[in-house]
Structure 1
Amino acid sequence: MAVVLVAGGTGFIGSYIVRRLTQDGHRVIVMSRDPGKARGRVPDGVEVRAGDVTDGATLGPALAGAEIVVCAVQFPNHPVENPRRGHTYIRVDGEGTVRLVGAARKAGVSRFVYISGAGTREGQTKPWFRAKLMAEKAIRESGIPYTIFRPSWVYGPEDRSLNKFATFARLLPFVPVIGSGRTRVQPLYVEDLADAVAASLRTGAALNRTYDIGGPQELTMDEIIRTMLWVMGRRRPLLHSPAWLMKAAAWPLQFLPTPPLSPGAVDFVLMEEPVDNGQVLQDLGLTLTPLERGLSYLRPEPR
């Protein structure tokens, strides 16, 4: 078993990775901008260290003794950027990961695992893709053995995207949907991604590999929401709003202290990037969770 530092280990995806690696017997360290808050959000036995990917001076002490680094960093209120607070893809996910890779190389880290995103490839122009490309390039050129995961839309009990639709279904007589509802996605259960990260540390087959990973079903947004409603035991019509209208409505919201939506976030939500699970299933032996089973946390409690 290894000493594994998880950057972003208190976030939605990172926290599941931390729990899974702990179950595998690794000694896990969580790097956090706010160690005081983080300590109450990690399993017993997990060490918390101060570190911020936007501040290179904090990274050397945080990485001391780490053998493996897992980078699952996201900025607060992702995917809605807030440039005034420095919460942008380029600054955090791009430049921040580059900084973390440099510190990992100096610390003698023997493995780097990075959570990238589906659709990351040369020629993409959206800020989230440019940031991921910047990060992936730094990782590949670092000389550190690596594994990169490019997940599709990740959902689970603490996610801030699919669960918004569940909240709408509880509070409103309809469920609002941006766009036509025909955008196709492969929703990936967060525990499956955590399993993939854990499995990658157990096999040499994952060394210096980049894996697409998504759920086992390719579904439209309407199909995803209707599956969610069925699991919740609710009937709600879906109310579609054109993307241009939502961008216009979101434009002034992006200037709020904590914006709930932005034009860029609308584009992020409407991304359609199919993934091929063939290689990740072959190398890591995963079993992927169908959406209905993954959403079981939304089932109403029996009375």
Structure 2
Amino acid sequence: MQASTVAITGGTGFVGRHLAERMPPGSAVVISRRTGVDVEDVEALTAAFAGCDVVAHCAGINREIGDQTYERVHVRGTATVIEAAKRAGVRKIIMLSFLRARPSCGSPYHESKWAAEELIRASGLDYTILKAGMIYGRGDHLVDHLSRTVQTIPIFATVGFREKPIRPIPIEDLTDVLEAAVNGRMPRATVAVVGAEQLLLSKAVRRVAAVLGRRVVVVPAPVWALYALAQLTEWTMTVPLVAKAQVRMLAEGVVDAAPPAASVPDDLLPRRRFTAEQIRSALPEPGGFGLRDLRLFADR
């Protein structure tokens, strides 16, 4: 099959950047606010999509800041992407959603991702919606934050007195699935993507700490306390230690799709476990959190 030309919204973000790097030279158009294209600007998106066969819609946020709301980015932004794709003659949209995105669940993040999914399914275009769980790799919010946390203070609080499991996905495995969708697989499908290994977040923390040669004490904490911490860090940090949407994810567990969705084809199932080798490949530069991570000191 001839390689497709793909436009990647959120192309400078964690997932979008890895997908762009995977594409053959000259076959990816990277689109983001950093490249001067707003996800609600239909004219600019139409021009950016010109000549592209596929749009990989990876743009998204895990917290609201100013006018960057879930409604604006996830819902209205997706509607604009669909309209621009139709104008530009794009044949397929691939959307990166969340494993447990669903309606009427009380979480604006989950509900807005679900609303975006529904817009894609009703668009009339070919599509693949990837309901992905927790993704990790260099530049992520999982290993990055866990490693910096244990290097700052050797204490980790669980999300709830009874932890729920996660199935972390290496970015390499997720990119394999995205690339297959770009090349025509999983047409008109909504599929769940989860990692090969199921474990508790506290166990993941201990593995990260072991790779770093650190000791960490895990203490149980109620979910409400983590919501309070999330609100505080959303107010005070440039990239929050944890966002409220992430607390909701961890309180529920990130293992099963809601509503249920088909799995990816067997040859695309993630196979890499959360091993020391995988953790090392995802680690950021050494160091914990400091004043530079606070909004008050970010520009100083």
Which residue is equivalent to 1:243?
Answer: 223
Pick from 280, 283, 294 the counterpart of residue 278 of structure 2. 294
Contact 2:138 2:283 (C-alpha < 8 Å) held by counterparts: no
**How far is 1:72 from its partner?**
0.4
More deviation in 273-282 or 231-240? 273-282
Separation (CA, whole Å) in 2 of partners of 1:198 and 1:6: 12
Separation (CA, whole Å) in 1 of partners of 2:262 and 2:206: 27
Q: TM-score by structure 1 length? A: 0.82
Pick from 151, 156, 159 the counterpart of residue 140 of structure 2. 159
Q: Which letter maps to 1:10?
A: T
Query: Aligned pair in 2 of structure 1 residues 274, 29: CA closer, same or farther (>3 Å)?
Result: same
Contact 2:56 2:182 (C-alpha < 8 Å) held by counterparts: no
2:68 is aligned with 1:66: no
2:180 is aligned with 1:180: no
Q: Deviations over 1:162-187 (max 9, x none)?
A: 32111121222333444336121111
**How far is 1:117 from its partner?**
0.7
Query: Aligned pair in 2 of structure 1 residues 28, 254: CA closer, same or farther (>3 Å)?
Result: closer
Query: Aligned pair in 2 of structure 1 residues 189, 110: CA closer, same or farther (>3 Å)?
Result: same
Which residue is equivalent to 2:117?
Answer: 136
Separation (CA, whole Å) in 2 of partners of 1:169 and 1:181: 21
Which residue is equivalent to 2:38?
Answer: 52
Q: Deviations over 1:166-220 (max 9, x none)?
A: 112122233344433612111111111111111223354x111111011011111
Unaligned stretches of 5+ residues in structure 1: 36-49
Query: Aligned pair in 2 of structure 1 residues 251, 119: CA closer, same or farther (>3 Å)?
Result: closer
**How far is 1:161 from its partner?**
3.1
The number of residues matched between the two structures is 278
2:233 is aligned with 1:218: no
2:66 is aligned with 1:80: no
Query: Percent same amino acid at aligned positions?
Result: 27
Contact 2:42 2:83 (C-alpha < 8 Å) held by counterparts: no
Query: Aligned pair in 2 of structure 1 residues 249, 173: CA closer, same or farther (>3 Å)?
Result: closer
Separation (CA, whole Å) in 2 of partners of 1:287 and 1:198: 13
Separation (CA, whole Å) in 1 of partners of 2:253 and 2:141: 19
Which residue is equivalent to 2:29?
Answer: 29
Unaligned stretches of 5+ residues in structure 2: 286-300
